[in-house]
């Protein structure tokens, strides 16, 4: 093994990873899938969604915030974990108000994709039907709170040109509500709105007036499914 490398097993498969990588990163690098929602590329992990939960030494740990350690034995795709992850996705669905057929994030949405992955047709929990107002006052950004999964990717990842933070949050737990200063019309430029939409895993942050411009068949997960289909 090279300097700075470690080895671990995930579901019995020998994996080599770089020191300091999270379990999620280690899995990815070795071609294994651990679902994630709040984890986003270069952003520091927040560990808010827990769909990346794995089992190490008989304990549940979030794969995105737990570092991979030499000799570690990780359980990933077990029946127990699959059910747990499915339950978490179902909770996120019932806590919000997700009408995929008319949602412009459909086909580009990570939550929808996970629901698809776990073949969720009817969630086991009752729908909560939260009543949440939309935030429509900004020139370029539309916030659909009822679709927000409180992943805080926007808080961590979207900054204004001068570097100051744009998104914040109030309240705690599943009541977390994303906030943004709408009194400053310059705060969210068109480019920032575009970035925010890209960073948001769901249809909560919407760049105005571009909805449905990408045809069905060419959206992010349509393309992925097409590729998967071809591989099969």
Q: Name the site residues for ligand SF4 (rule: CB under 6 A).
A: 98-100, 103, 105-106, 109, 111-112, 147-154, 178, 199-205
Q: Could you tell which of ligand SF4, other proteins, ligand FES, none binds residue 34, using a CB distance below 5 to 8 A set by kind?
A: none
The neighbour count for residue 120, using CB atoms within 10 Å, is 16
Site map (CB under 8 A) of other proteins, residues 125-164, x = contact: ---------x-xx----x----------------------
Q: Which is nearer to other proteins, 57 or 101 (CB)?
A: 101
Q: Could you tell which of other proteins, ligand FES, ligand SF4, none binds residue 6, using a CB distance below 5 to 8 A set by kind?
A: none
Q: What residue ranges bind ligand FES (CB under 6 A)? A: 36-39, 47-52, 62-64
- Can you list the pairs that 75-83 forms with residues at least 24 positions away whose Cβ atoms lie under 8 Å? 75/11, 76/10, 76/11, 76/27, 76/32, 76/34, 77/11, 78/11, 80/55, 81/53, 81/54, 81/55, 82/118
Exposure of 172 by Cβ count < 10 A (0-12 exposed, 13-18 middle, 19+ buried)? exposed
Site map (CB under 8 A) of other proteins, residues 66-85, x = contact: --------------------
The neighbour count for residue 117, using CB atoms within 10 Å, is 15
Compute the least distance from the CB of residue 92 to ligand SF4, in Å.
8
The reply on whether position 224 binds other proteins by CB under 8 A is: no
Compute the least distance from the CB of residue 97 to ligand SF4, in Å.
8
Q: Which is nearer to ligand SF4, 3 or 102 (CB)?
A: 102
Out of 3, 102, 183, 231, the residue judged to bind other proteins by CB under 8 A? 102
Report how far residue 204's alpha carbon sits from residue 109's, in angstroms, rounded to the nearest whole number.
10
The reply on whether position 118 binds other proteins by CB under 8 A is: no
Q: Could you tell which of ligand FES, ligand SF4, other proteins, none binds residue 62, using a CB distance below 5 to 8 A set by kind?
A: ligand FES
The reply on whether position 185 binds other proteins by CB under 8 A is: no
Q: Which is nearer to ligand FES, 63 or 203 (CB)?
A: 63
Q: Which is nearer to other proteins, 62 or 107 (CB)?
A: 107
């Amino acid at each position: 093994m090279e300097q700075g490398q470690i080895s671990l097993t995930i579901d019995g498969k020998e994996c080599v990873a770089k020191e300091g990588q999270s379990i999620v990163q280690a899995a990815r690098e070795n071609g294994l899938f651990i679902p994630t929602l709040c984890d986003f590329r270069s952003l520091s992990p927040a560990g808010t969604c827990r769909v990346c939960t794995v089992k190490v030494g008989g304990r549940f740990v979030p794969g995105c915030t737990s570092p991979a350690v030499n000799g570690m034995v990780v359980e990933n795709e077990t029946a127990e974990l699959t059910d747990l992850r499915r339950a978490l996705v179902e909770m996120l669905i019932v806590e919000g108000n997700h009408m995929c057929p008319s949602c412009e994030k459909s086909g580009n949405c990570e939550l929808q994709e996970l629901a698809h992955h776990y073949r969720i047709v009817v969630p086991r929990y009752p729908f909560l039907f939260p009543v949440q107002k939309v935030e429509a006052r900004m020139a370029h950004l539309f916030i659909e709170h009822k679709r927000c999964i409180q992943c805080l990717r926007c808080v961590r990842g979207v900054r204004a040109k001068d570097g100051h933070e744009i998104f914040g949050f109030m309240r705690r737990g599943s009541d977390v509500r994303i906030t943004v200063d709408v009194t400053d019309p310059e705060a969210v430029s068109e480019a920032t709105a575009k970035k925010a939409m890209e960073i948001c895993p769901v249809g909560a942050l919407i760049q105005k007036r571009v909805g449905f411009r990408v045809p069905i068949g060419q959206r992010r997960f349509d393309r992925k499914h097409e590729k998967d289909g071809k591989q099969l």
